[in-house]
Structure 1
């Protein structure tokens, strides 16, 4: 029952995020359309006071209320009376007009047909409705809905099904490729619990491209250091700690690992944004994130960071997850362009559309200065990167090094079909030596690995093998030599079958 309640609340909240425009008069009717049942339910917001009156006044609900012996009434009351988080108004006030919010709202409006009001994706109307609901002592979902403008809002639940089917289609190719195998073999010696042979340090580094310093988590090997550097870039609203398991595995094998906390798009930024203290990440972050990485390399090279350790800063590796994967691609020469962003972002029925397009489309205004390669990066791994709209097919030919792309077959944020398989296939990237490895059954977040986990990271041996080979440590464990698989998750190199 709690699952149903949360889904109903999500529908109502989705409506709240979608119904925006210039004030006309209060929303009168809320219609839920069920095309698969060939029916609809109408709730008359203007003709009732309490949530119970609203529900009982709907003739469409009378049979359902009787059939559920009052349980549906209790459920719907909880949904409509659910208080809105206190941070909601502050978040909207701080985010109005920002590209990321506008893209999210545009996607939400696809689920709603609104009569009697003009659409506006700035978020201003949402904020005004929240303020009015609070002033009337009704800071809940029902009070919020009543303060929205318009005559009738119809939630097209059939479009939710369309989106689910689109996601399924965007995952099917990856599922089939991974299932066909073969999975990479496993090296038993690499699956033993890690023995800490590194020191953990957290510092801040002043940078010229941001007003604030960049924090960096460093794992420095204490014994068998090989003098090489790996930088791990986190994704949107994430933190270095989510990838510390990756870093621990690499540090165990001699690499000095730097994990920057990108201040414009990390977890702290998200918390400040939800509190209304900061705007959502802007398009300029597409340029600033790679500069964070380059600034850390500059600090090591100049001796301001890790001085006296003899680190090779002219041949380093960058590993990134999600937006961090996009950052890694930029650093090896992938140059974002506007062509696909300007033509495909507005098409809400695009068969390849997925959640990551909300982020990608918000980057449109930052494309011009986002070509920020760093010649010191000689190895790159991009795990689940949003990239379909960002780079041209020819971009793989211009990269300064070979790239390993990793994608989970059940990734619902950045699905493997449009964001990994199609770009690799269409660009002929494998002919330049780039590779695609699919992680069977893994989603967008399950490949992360945290500090001190009992088992090594699923992709730990894979990262090590690729970096060793690309940095020329050919006497060591390499990607071409195999053995980088995992005993619990099938990792499949599908590059030659695209």
Structure 2
């Protein structure tokens, strides 16, 4: 029961924030009538809840008498979710609302709310959201209730519980996968000996140029930061930021690599950077940005190549023919396209038309926006042969490339995923794509990491961290992760140089685990563990043959059984370590019914 309630707590906070986010996206007048009662229908049973009682609990934490039977569920976490406030720039609110009402995915969400609350069809719900945004106390779940233009609102509890059940299953699956990956990805290592430390600051003086490069053919100005030194030692590294970030998102990495002689170009994509959130565009992410981002980088490489030849200070020192591209989130998509990945518009369209609202992640809003893109007939026009290596951090991949599009990426690729990333969930955005990449070098798992954990703490867009589904870890907790990324990216880029063998040992589990901490453990493997690969294959088959929610139920069961295996092995090891005669106990545990039950169930799956 406690586990079920944990689900409901996560749901209440996550979707309370999501409702608040939706409510924050518009402006309008306050209603003359506000909801006073909620009538919750569950089959033939009806329960009436007074909104005043909800407000009393939210304000004081005291349980109203009429809520006495539900007291065990009214925890401080639920109280906090009722009081969570969210504020967004008005321009962003309007654009988010436009996307919500105009996109197929947004229409599905509105239709779902209409099924849960029949008195709130889409047009009424939108008016309610407009009114809620004007509450002087800020936008909360309570301000949304106050904005409902009817005294009594009926909630279909069966529909709501079915939706929350599927949402809870999805969240529990991610939590279980995180536990399983932590164990499956671990491997015993020996302490490394070294004559160089790629994570330590280098000896060279870092030079920094800020560039504004005008592309007249596209009527577009691309800002870029060039970090370099007088004694370059390797190929250039290009940094491509994610949505609503800028060229400074990985500034710490640019400075570090340049101190070792590796020149870095941090590109800013003007259509999807911080400023793009507050411009006059009608949508959150203009669809042409999926095309313009790769073109931005190719254009910047062309201009810096010219600068490299004509500048007296550079004097041809930069190697722009073997570029290592580091892409975060949408920047990861950008890198894959430039390395030859083939977009599959039909696969993307099929996915977006069948996706359930309970499965929606922020990444799905972005990738489904790409169904409106007029993709060029020759997708190779976005490819750039100067891209020799890829480092993908929390990349947005999903269904962009179908089942075979990633097979065209032949360059060595590193993939990083974070287990608490609710923006680009690891299963669909990183684990499956990692299996499809023909030249994937390694998967790095940041246990407990979120979508923004790899960023420079002093250069993360503060507005992003206020969104409920984009929490961020304190800077001190992720410091070791950033140090590791500095050393790993440097060692990976140096594989294009005569010093490759010297730096190859740093591309290993041993090196990753040196930077692992109890709060943010790091895992590194060159291939997916067999249990995880088998689970992915099973999930794909179940999605094809079964209707919701059964694929998710079976997937969760499979992961729980793997987790049970881990617990049994841990029990065996602890028992053997404590007892002088271990063989009889070992034999008993291997013949125990629970062990065989778990093993048989996994085999059947």
TM-score above 0.5, yes or no: yes
Deviations 1:305-337 (A, max 9, x none): 983521222221111011111111111011222
What's the counterpart of residue 384 of structure 1? 394
Contact 1:233-1:318 within 8 A present in 2 as well: yes
Matched, 1:405 2:415: yes
Contact 1:244-1:450 within 8 A present in 2 as well: no
Structure 1 stretch 457-466 or stretch 111-120: which is displaced more? 111-120
Deviation at 1:422, TM superposition (A): 2.2
Unaligned runs of 5+ in 1: none
What's the counterpart of residue 565 of structure 2? none
In structure 2, the CA distance between the partners of 1:459 and 1:100, relative to structure 1 (3 Å rule), is: farther
1:491 aligned to which of 519, 523, 532: 523
Matched, 1:261 2:278: no
In structure 2, the CA distance between the partners of 1:55 and 1:264, relative to structure 1 (3 Å rule), is: closer
In structure 2, the CA distance between the partners of 1:33 and 1:376, relative to structure 1 (3 Å rule), is: farther
In structure 2, the CA distance between the partners of 1:352 and 1:79, relative to structure 1 (3 Å rule), is: closer
- The 2-side partners of 1:333 and 1:219 are apart by 27
Contact 1:183-1:492 within 8 A present in 2 as well: no
- The 2-side partners of 1:319 and 1:28 are apart by 50
Contact 1:406-1:437 within 8 A present in 2 as well: yes
Contact 1:174-1:438 within 8 A present in 2 as well: no
Deviation at 1:97, TM superposition (A): 3.0
Matched, 1:98 2:99: yes
What's the counterpart of residue 115 of structure 1? 118
Deviation at 1:83, TM superposition (A): 8.1
Instruction: Report the 3-state secondary structure (helix = DSSP H, G, I; strand = E; otherwise coil) of the residue aligned with 2:407.
Output: helix
Matched, 1:437 2:453: no
Contact 1:262-1:289 within 8 A present in 2 as well: yes
Indicate the structure with greater helix content.
2
Deviation at 1:406, TM superposition (A): 1.5
Instruction: Report the 3-state secondary structure (helix = DSSP H, G, I; strand = E; otherwise coil) of the residue aligned with 1:247.
Output: helix
What's the counterpart of residue 487 of structure 2? 461
Contact 2:201-2:260 within 8 A present in 1 as well: no
- The 2-side partners of 1:166 and 1:306 are apart by 55
In structure 2, the CA distance between the partners of 1:246 and 1:449, relative to structure 1 (3 Å rule), is: same
Deviation at 1:205, TM superposition (A): 1.0
More RCO (CA 8 Å, sep 6+): 1
Contact 1:317-1:380 within 8 A present in 2 as well: yes
Contact 2:237-2:263 within 8 A present in 1 as well: yes
Aligned length: 469
Deviations 1:67-116 (A, max 9, x none): 99xx99xx989968x9874844x433344433798446745765671213
Deviation at 1:353, TM superposition (A): 5.0
Structure 1 stretch 142-151 or stretch 484-493: which is displaced more? 142-151
Instruction: Report the 3-state secondary structure (helix = DSSP H, G, I; strand = E; otherwise coil) of the residue aligned with 1:202.
Output: strand
Matched, 1:418 2:428: yes
Deviation at 1:383, TM superposition (A): 1.0
The residue correspondences of 1:261-340 to structure 2 (distance < 5 A) are 261-270=268-277, 272=278, 279-303=283-307, 307-308=311-312, 309=314, 310=316, 311-340=318-347
- The 2-side partners of 1:212 and 1:346 are apart by 33
What's the counterpart of residue 182 of structure 1? 187
What's the counterpart of residue 220 of structure 1? 228
Structure 1 stretch 167-176 or stretch 411-420: which is displaced more? 167-176
Deviation at 1:405, TM superposition (A): 1.5
Deviation at 1:465, TM superposition (A): 2.3
- The 2-side partners of 1:364 and 1:383 are apart by 24
- The 2-side partners of 1:289 and 1:87 are apart by 25
What's the counterpart of residue 446 of structure 1? 453
Instruction: Report the 3-state secondary structure (helix = DSSP H, G, I; strand = E; otherwise coil) of the residue aligned with 1:97.
Output: helix
- The 1-side partners of 2:417 and 2:188 are apart by 14
2:366 aligned to which of 354, 359, 362: 359
TM-score (norm: length of structure 1): 0.75
Contact 1:32-1:157 within 8 A present in 2 as well: no
Deviation at 1:462, TM superposition (A): 1.9
What's the counterpart of residue 166 of structure 1? 170
Contact 1:438-1:494 within 8 A present in 2 as well: no
Matched, 1:64 2:91: no
TM-score (norm: length of structure 2): 0.64
Deviation at 1:194, TM superposition (A): 5.3
Instruction: Report the 3-state secondary structure (helix = DSSP H, G, I; strand = E; otherwise coil) of the residue aligned with 1:206.
Output: strand
In structure 2, the CA distance between the partners of 1:412 and 1:361, relative to structure 1 (3 Å rule), is: same
- The 2-side partners of 1:33 and 1:187 are apart by 65
Deviations 1:178-229 (A, max 9, x none): 423227765662343555631122221112465341111221123x312521
In structure 2, the CA distance between the partners of 1:199 and 1:127, relative to structure 1 (3 Å rule), is: same
Deviation at 1:29, TM superposition (A): 6.6
Deviations 1:248-284 (A, max 9, x none): 23223221101112111122223x26xx777411221
